[in-house]
Amino acid sequence: MIIDNYTDIHSHLLFGLDDGPRDLEESIILLKMARDEGIRTQFLTPHYGPESGYTPDAQKIRENFEILKARARIEVPEMTLLLGSELYCAPNQVIGRVERGEALSMANTSYLLLEFNEWGPYRQTAEHITKSMLFLRHTNWRLILAHAERYRDFKGKQSLYRDLVSGGVYLQINAYDLMDQPDDWVRENTRWLVQNRLAHFIGTDAHRLKKRTPVMRSGVDYLYQHCDEAYADALVKGNADKLIAGERVPLSY
């Protein structure tokens, strides 16, 4: 059982870039909260995609990252910080954006974290998400579907999650949704994914002090209480270690 050494592969805690912290001070406060939740390796994955309204300059991302790292070494020395992007998945555009250096892969590896529109009249269907991810899987990139549990069109279509994983796509879930999510369907869908060993990575998707602060412990507790220890270890740290090393993460357990 892993204690206080978790890896959060999905957060928006890098200041001044998207809908995350507005300034360095807020980033530091949030990193301290993440540390208190047992996180020791923190990915910073700002949104990227004109379709979602965010196109932070890659050089600005790196500059803000270095500023945050320097401050974190003093105030949160326990934390290892890594860079990535949460990429809006426009199937014919997203790979080119990374390959041109406009957006970032995860820790400079072949892994990409991809999201889809989940709200309002432009909410994308489970079939579109599945088709798009499997289409992109035939590139040289390893794909992770961000907060896979939240796409409501998978309700009644959960077999599509199996199609994604069998086709080579990884699934990331938010720790918050295992225990603290008030929406019954999202909570139960998250639990279904881990009970069926279809999730590969965990994150907080934390944004700022007034919108989704880092929550990890309650979800980790659920995993160790309801899943076998080896699978829980893989979700909270082991698979992320392989990602960081550029190694292949197992798709099935």
pTM of the predicted protein model: 0.97
Q: Is residue 250 scored above 90 in pLDDT?
A: yes
In this predicted model, what pLDDT tens digit does every residue of 200-233 receive, in sequence order?
999 999 999 998 999 999 999 999 999 999 999 9
In this predicted model, what pLDDT tens digit does every residue of 39-62 receive, in sequence order?
999 999 999 999 989 999 999 999
Angle, CA of 18, 19 and 23, to the nearest 5°: 80
Q: Is residue 35 scored above 80 in pLDDT?
A: yes
* Residues β-bridged to residue 42: 8, 81
Model pLDDT, residue 173: 98
How much of the chain, in percent, has pLDDT values that exceed 90?
96
Where do the domains of the chain lie? 6-244
Q: Is residue 126 scored above 80 in pLDDT?
A: yes
The average pLDDT across 15-32 equals: 97
Q: How far is CA 83 from CA 64, 105, 217, in A?
A: 11, 8, 22
Model pLDDT, residue 123: 87
Model pLDDT, residue 245: 98
Q: Tell me how far apart the alpha carbons of residues 39 and 35 are, in angstroms, rounded to a whole number.
A: 5
The average pLDDT across 141-154 equals: 97
Q: Tell me how far apart the alpha carbons of residues 207 and 12 are, in angstroms, rounded to a whole number.
A: 5
What token pair was written down for 18? 């998207």
What CATH number does the domain located at 6-244 have? 3.20.20.140
The average pLDDT across 66-78 equals: 98
What token pair was written down for 172? 């990331």
pLDDT band at 253 (very low <50, low <70, confident <90, very high): confident
In this predicted model, what pLDDT tens digit does every residue of 78-123 receive, in sequence order?
999 999 999 999 999 999 999 999 999 999 999 999 999 987 777 8
Q: Is the four-CA dihedral 195, 228, 241, 60 of positive or negative sign?
A: positive
- The candidate with the shortest Cα–Cα distance to 39, out of 240, 251, 249, is 240
In this predicted model, what pLDDT tens digit does every residue of 238-248 receive, in sequence order?
999 999 999 99
Model pLDDT, residue 119: 77
